[in-house]
Chains A and B, each alone.
Chain A
C-alpha cells in the first residue's frame, strides 16, 4: 500500500541534496519487464545496485544507458528525477536515479 501522506513524502525528500552528484559503480543490475503499480508505465526499465566512492551502496534506477552501457562495473552519477508515476491528485515524488556516465 502506497503512503500518500505529504509529511511522509517530505521526510523522504529532505536529505535529497546530500545524495545528488555522487559518483559510483553498478554492482548488479536488471531490466524490469513486470513492474509494480507506479512503475508500470515506464517498462521496460533498468534498475540495480550502486556502490559509491565512500563505500555506501543504494538500490537505484539506472538511466540514460542501454544493454551495452549498463553492465556490472559501469560508472554512474546520481541525479534528481521524478520517481514512478503519481495519480493526478497526489504529490509528485522526486528522488535519486543513477545516470550512466559515458
Chain B
C-alpha cells in the first residue's frame, strides 16, 4: 500500500479582506476534492491545521467547522503546532492512513491574519515561544534575529547573503499567480527597508497573510500519476532558544530530516526540488545546512551563488516560499506539499523544475521547537 497525494486545492495568499475563514476553507477543500475525483462522503477523516483562530477571533472547534462546510460527518481533528501546524497535520493524516482505519483523508490548513493589527498578531504568534521570551520583549523576527546575529558572527554570513534569499524568493513568487507578492526586488531594496529586529529588515520577513491549502491523501496500490509520500517525519526541541546547545542550527530539522532520508532510502543529494521554511531569510540559510544541502556555515554562500534559484542545481522555494508566496500560518505546511506535488507532476508552469522526481517539504514551528519533513516521489 502507498500513500498518494490525489488532490490539491489552494487559494490565493494575501490580504483577502472579502473572504472569511469559511470562504477560504471551502474554496481550498472543494478544489482538492474535485481534483481527487472522490465524493465528499468518501472522506474518512479531516485534519485541520490552524494556529491563531482561537486566539484572534475566539473561534475554536475548527475540525467540525470544516466537516460542516462539506456536509459530512466523519471524524475531524484540529492540529496546532505553531507555524508547523500544516506539516504536523500531514504527518498525522499519513499515520492515520498507515493505521488502516482510513483510506481517504482531507488535510486542510486555513489562517486569517490580516483583520488584526501587527501588535495583535505579533502577540498571538508569540504563543509559539516560551514564557521567558515573551517577558524579554522578544518577537518572532527578534528570535530569528538572534539566530542571524550568531550565524553572522560565527560563519561570516553577511547582510547581503540574507538579502539574496528574499531577492530569489520574490523572483520565484513573480512566477506564481497565487503568491502574495509577485514583484521582483533588489538586494538594495532589502537592505534599505525599515528595520524590524536588527539585523532583519522588513524584506527579510515573511508577511501576514490570509489563505487556505488542502490536499487529499489516499491509500492506493497504484499511484498512477500521483506523487507518493515516501517519508513523513516530525521532531521537536526546547520551545525557548536559551536552553539549546546551539542557536546557529535547528536540531529538530536535523533529526526530522535524518529520519525522513532513512525512511525514503535517499540522501540529500537525491532531492531535485524543495520547499523550506523561510519565515525569515536566516531560516532558509540555516535550513540549507540542517537539511544537508550544503556544509555547516555555508548556507549563505550556497544561496548567494545561485544554486537554489530556478535553473540552479537545487531550486528551493519555487512557490516564492513564505517570504513571497505568503505565510497564512496553518496553511503553509500544506502549501509546501502542494508546490512539490505540482513540480513532480510537471504542472508548475513558468516555475517548473525540469524532470523533478524527488521533492522535499520542510516546515518549522516557532523558533524550531517543531520540524516536519516530508519527501514525495513520482
CB A24 to nearest CB in B, in angstroms, measures 11
- Count residues on chain B whose CB falls below 8 Å from chain A CBs: 39
A36 contacts B147, CB within 8 Å?
no
CA distance A55 to B175 in the complex (A): 49
B:121-144 near A, CB below 8 Å:
122-124, 126-127, 130-139, 141-142
B132 contacts A59, CB within 8 Å?
yes
* Chain A residue nearest to B121 in the complex (CB): A36
Of the candidates B55, B119, B153, B195, the one whose C-beta lies within 8 Å of that of A40 is B119
Q: Among the listed stretches B37-45, B235-243, B323-331, B370-378, which one makes contact with chain A, having 4 or more residues with CB under 8 Å of it? A: B235-243
Specify which of B122, B142, B197, B247 lies most central, judged by the most chain A CB atoms within 10 Å of its CB.
Answer: B142
CA distance A40 to B121 in the complex (A): 13
Determine the chain B residues whose CB is within 8 A of the CB of A100 once the complex forms: none
CA distance A13 to B127 in the complex (A): 20
Given the contacts A36-B134, A47-B137, A30 and B198 also touching, CB distance less than 8 Å: yes
A49 contacts B153, CB within 8 Å?
no
CA distance A31 to B195 in the complex (A): 9
Determine the chain B residues whose CB is within 8 A of the CB of A34 once the complex forms: 118, 122, 139, 141, 196-197
A77 proximal to B (CB < 8 A): no
Cβ contacts A59-72/B at 8 Å (1 or 0 each):
11100000000001
B150 proximal to A (CB < 8 A): yes
B165 proximal to A (CB < 8 A): no
A:35-63 near B, CB below 8 Å:
35-40, 42, 44-45, 47-49, 57-61
Of the candidates B137, B241, B247, the one whose C-beta lies within 8 Å of that of A36 is B137
Determine the chain A residues whose CB is within 8 A of the CB of B55 once the complex forms: 1
B120 proximal to A (CB < 8 A): yes
CA distance A8 to B243 in the complex (A): 23
B149 proximal to A (CB < 8 A): yes
A47 contacts B243, CB within 8 Å?
no
CB A66 to nearest CB in B, in angstroms, measures 13
B149 contacts A32, CB within 8 Å?
no
CB B94 to nearest CB in A, in angstroms, measures 32
Determine the chain B residues whose CB is within 8 A of the CB of A37 once the complex forms: 119-120, 122-123
B119 contacts A47, CB within 8 Å?
no
A33 contacts B138, CB within 8 Å?
no
CB B124 to nearest CB in A, in angstroms, measures 8
Q: Which 4 A-B pairs have the closest CB atoms?
A: A30-B145, A59-B136, A57-B242, A28-B146
Interface pairs (15), CB distance under 8 Å: A2-B123, A12-B135, A30-B197, A32-B138, A33-B194, A33-B196, A36-B122, A37-B122, A47-B137, A47-B142, A48-B146, A49-B146, A57-B242, A57-B243, A61-B137
